[in-house]
Structure 1
Amino acid sequence: MKALMMTRVGEPEVLQLQQVDEPVIRQPSEVKIKLYAAGVNPIDTKIRRGGLLQGDRFPVILGCDGAGEVVEVGASVSRYKPGDKVWFCHGGLGLEQGNYAPVNVVDERWLATMPSNASYIEAAAAPLVLITAWGALYNRGRLQAGQTVLIHGGAGGVGHVAIQLAKLRGARVITTVSSSEKEQFVRNLGADEVIIYPTEDTLERLLALTLGRGADLVFDTVGRDVFLPSITMTAHFGTLVSILDPGVFDFQEARMRNLSIAFELMLTPMLRNLSEARDEQVAILQRCAEYMLAGQLVIEVSEVFSLAEGLGAHAIIEAGHTQGKIVLTI
């Protein structure tokens, strides 16, 4: 089969379409999947540059998110049969094969049944961002109905599903975006208030919207430049959750506010082989499938590339300000 291979650490050009042996079932609990689409995430670009990369043998196949059809099952597989449509987040970190390929083999434990109203493209776009947003808001952030949440970068991959999950929990959602076009996009997703950060003072506007209190929960999907000012955007006794490393910072104001500060790295269960935590992630996908079937959760895919065009997808993600998700078709 021809797969998009990471030949070494470096720029997008290190991604090359190469012939490689098709994976085969080796364990009785494994499932062979014909992949139709693979999600492209910012973490893929960071792994390509060497961050969180497991092992040092090249070439490797990137791509954590995949969606496809079961074509073969191991002797002990009980949950799936040939013809079933599945979506999942597995591999792509350097040791186990990722999903920038026509075929993958995955243990049935890490698969979930695709929502029947989703295309392969939509399904492949979703797992990592859904698990991330769910973990950040519901598990780390303990979001409750009636609370106010500030979601930075609401038009992005994680941000746009976070808005919807927060509304499903009954929260008031304030979000930041970079343009008036994105403002309309996030309002259509359910955002109650939108701050266009290039032209508005985010803290000033937030305080005006919350009568000087700040948000009960602030969700940083951007990084250090947003994380640090978010401390003063979080209400006293509130929670600040980030999906990125903020680096070294002064805790004084966070301590004075009695803030809870948490981090959401959904890859930790894969990186640390935490099987029970991975079971919980599969359960999240099953719950999200129910929301999607009910029309309460949608996945925005802004651009679709062929597998051979994967380096272009990486370049766009690294340029920033992507709306929704980018997907490779296979």
Structure 2
Amino acid sequence: MRAMLMAEPGSPDVLQPADVSKPGPLGEHDILVRVKAIGVNPIDTKLRGRGTFYPEKMPAILGCDGAGVVEAAGSEVTRFRLGDEVYFCNGGIGAAPGTYAEYTVMNEHVAAAKPASLDFMQAAATPLVLITAWESLHDRAQIIAGQDILIHAGAGGVGHMAIQLAKAAGCRVITTVGSAEKAEFARQMGADETVLYKEQDFARAVLDWSDGEGVDVALDTVGGAIFEQTFGAVRPYGKVVTLLQPGPDTDWKQARLHNLQISLELMLSPMYMGWKDALRHQGWILEQCAQLFDRGELAVHVSHKLPLEQAPEAHRLIEAGGMIGKVVLTVD
């Protein structure tokens, strides 16, 4: 089968096309999926640049996100039949081959039926960012209707999904963006208010928007100084969820004084640690979100569609920054 292989860490050009063996044999609960499209994520570029979590297992096939058709199934598979269309987040961190290939194998419980309203490219763009946004808002922050939510980088992959999930839950949303174009996109995704963080003090703007109270929940997708500055935008006893590891020089004084609840979110942990219940939960999240897509409460923006062999260019696009939405690779 065709695949993009990474033999060593480095620039995007370390991703090279190759013919490799089709994966198999299948375990009792495994499905073999013919990949139709692949979502490209920042984690792919980071692993390509610095090396995978399993450097002893090289060369590697990167890619966590995908969508395709079930072509074979293990003897105990009950959730899918041959020919079913699925989407999933699985592999690609170095332990098992990822999705930059014509075929991939996974346990049936991490996959979900592809939303009928999405094509393969749209579906492939969503799993990692959807699961991240859902776990952040629903599992960590436990948002409820009527709350005010701050979402950083609302035009990004996680950000534009988080805006929509928060709105579907009945919340008001304010988001930070870097340009007028991104502000318009975030409003199209449902944001009630946008803040141009390059021109405004976002914490001050959030306080003004929330009548001086601060938001109930903030989702930090940026990290660094933004994480610490976010404390000033959250009401006392509010919640902050961050996708990044706080730096050792973080000043926690305001967070402590205001009794903020700080949560960390890394959706790759269940795959890396082998937490089976958490992986099943992520499959369930994709099932719930498929219903939201098909009801018109969720949409995904795919900004670039490239053939599999142009994976290096996809990485360059992401590393250049400023993306609106997602980049997808297609497999004929």
TM-score (norm 2): 0.97
Cα pair 1:129 1:157 within 8 Å, conserved: yes
AA partner of residue 321 (structure 2): G
Query: 1:139 is matched with which residue?
Result: 139
- Cα distance, 1:14 vs. partner? 1.1
Distance of 1:79 and 1:206 partners within structure 2: 45
- Cα distance, 1:262 vs. partner? 0.5
Gap runs ≥5 in structure 1: none
Query: 1:10 is matched with which residue?
Result: 10
Once the two structures are superposed, residues 137-195 of structure 1 have per-residue CA deviations (whole angstroms, 9 ceiling, x without a partner) of 11111111111111000000000000000001111100011111111111111100111
Query: 1:302 is matched with which residue?
Result: 303
Query: 2:93 is matched with which residue?
Result: 93
* Aligned partner of residue 78 in structure 2, secondary structure: coil
Query: 1:78 is matched with which residue?
Result: 78
* Aligned partner of residue 67 in structure 1, secondary structure: strand
Cα pair 1:112 1:286 within 8 Å, conserved: yes
Distance of 1:20 and 1:147 partners within structure 2: 50
Whether 1:156 and 2:156 are equivalent positions in the alignment is yes
Cα pair 1:25 1:32 within 8 Å, conserved: no
Report the aligned-residue RMSD: 1.2
Query: 2:208 is matched with which residue?
Result: 208
Aligned-residue sequence identity (percent) comes to 45
AA partner of residue 83 (structure 1): G
Distance of 2:54 and 2:29 partners within structure 1: 24
Cα pair 2:61 2:98 within 8 Å, conserved: yes
Query: 1:37 is matched with which residue?
Result: 37
- Cα distance, 1:52 vs. partner? 5.7
Cα pair 1:129 1:161 within 8 Å, conserved: yes
Distance of 1:189 and 1:55 partners within structure 2: 39
Query: 1:322 is matched with which residue?
Result: 323
- Cα distance, 1:259 vs. partner? 0.4
Cα pair 2:204 2:233 within 8 Å, conserved: no
Map 1:1-330; keep pairs closer than 5 Å. 1-50=1-50, 53-248=53-248, 249-330=250-331
* Aligned partner of residue 61 in structure 1, secondary structure: coil
Distance of 1:269 and 1:7 partners within structure 2: 25
Distance of 1:235 and 1:290 partners within structure 2: 33
- Cα distance, 1:250 vs. partner? 2.1
* Aligned partner of residue 39 in structure 2, secondary structure: strand
State the 4+ residue runs in structure 1 displaced beyond 3 angstroms: none
AA partner of residue 99 (structure 1): T
Distance of 2:66 and 2:234 partners within structure 1: 35
Cα pair 1:70 1:83 within 8 Å, conserved: yes
Distance of 1:107 and 1:276 partners within structure 2: 12
- Cα distance, 1:318 vs. partner? 1.3
* Aligned partner of residue 244 in structure 1, secondary structure: coil
Gap runs ≥5 in structure 2: none
Cα pair 2:228 2:252 within 8 Å, conserved: no
Which deviates the most, 194-203 or 131-140? 194-203
Distance of 2:65 and 2:239 partners within structure 1: 29
Cα pair 1:55 1:95 within 8 Å, conserved: no
Which deviates the most, 162-171 or 66-75? 66-75
Distance of 1:235 and 1:309 partners within structure 2: 46
Alignment: residue pair count: 330
- Cα distance, 1:200 vs. partner? 1.9
AA partner of residue 150 (structure 2): L
